[in-house]
Amino acid sequence: MAGQLPAGDRLRRLRWVGRLVLAASLLVAALVLVMVARAVWAPQARYVVRPELSVHGVTVGSPVRLKGVVVGRVARVGLWSDPKDGRVRPEVVLSLDVSVDPNLALLGERVADGLRVGFVPVNPASGFLETDLVWLPGSPCLRATNEPDELPWQPSSQQQALARAIAALRPLANADLRPKVESLLAGLSTAEARLAEGPAALASLSARAARLREGLSRIESAVDSDDLAELHGRLGEVREGLRVATAALDALDRDLAAWPGPLGEALREFSRSCRDSADRLRREVPESAR
């Protein structure tokens, strides 16, 4: 047919296309092999982190950053059992690329300088955690062992709040609460009994208040303001008379001082007794009666 290549030309063209596709495939495979070989044979530094809290959100293959630069990956996330007490805690294995910085192989020596491993939320909504190497001199060295390949971890602010809550609740979980519960029940029973007696006590108090009001009403009706004013006036007169009598008895006592013998002593004793009685009566008269 017109416009079609001969069969031999089409076959040669297909052969050339196949050769190009095969060459491209071999090139891609070679690049992949080089990257895999580099990842396998590149010098790596292995470290572990064993935090006490959950590492939910840390995934295998997620980056490990140092001041924003990716220096490695999370190689494994698993569990570790303490051989001393059998306690189980998470274990995160970090694989750091030493070719980025040879000092990454010496991080165990930098723990004393404040090197810590922090798990930072990438996005609070996603729940993913990013692993960061940070320097916090003076911070607590939190790690399960003193092995050189274990790096201490630094809890985030949320984890610190959770740790404080756990520390506060742990004594309650280990304590015997039965005595406190029994004491609380006894206190509630006492309060219930007092509440049951409340209406009777209120009724008694109300009756006493009514009787007091009634007595005050009787006193108010029996004595008016004029009577009280007259009473105060008379008490004032009595007080003044007692003051004059006290002064007279003082003068008499001075006069009797010159009388000798038993008669003078008896008279002086009688004068002092009268003076003391008058002075006591004057003090007993209310001040408002002056």
**Residue-wise pLDDT tens digits, 200-247:** 766 776 777 777 777 767 666 665 666 666 666 666 666 666 666 666
Question: Where would I find the beta strands (DSSP E) of the chain?
Answer: 44-49, 63-66, 69-81, 88-97, 115-121, 129-135, 153-154
The first and second tokens of residue 6, run together, are 């001969």
Residues contacting residue 65 through CB under 8 Å, at least 6 positions apart: 71, 130, 131, 132, 133
Number of H helices and number of E strands within the chain? 5, 7
Q: Which of 95, 104, 99 is nearest to 42 (CA)?
A: 99
- Crossing angle of the two packed helices 261-284 and 225-256, in degrees rounded to 10: 160
To 5 degrees, how large is the angle CA 284–CA 287–CA 290?
Answer: 110
Chain centre distance of CA 120: 24
Quick one: pLDDT at residue 93? 95
**Residue-wise pLDDT tens digits, 54-76:** 888 899 999 999 998 999 999 99
Map tokens 């756990």 to a residue: 166
Strand order in the sheet with 44-49: 44-49, 88-97, 69-81, 63-66, 129-135, 115-121, 153-154
Question: Per-residue pLDDT averaged across 18-42, rounded?
Answer: 74
Cβ 64 vs Cβ 119: under 8 Å: no
- Is the pLDDT assigned to residue 287 strictly greater than 60? no
Exposed, middle or buried by CB within 10 Å (0-12, 13-18, 19+), for 209?
exposed
Distances (CA, A) of 230 to 1, 217, 224, 234: 151, 20, 10, 6
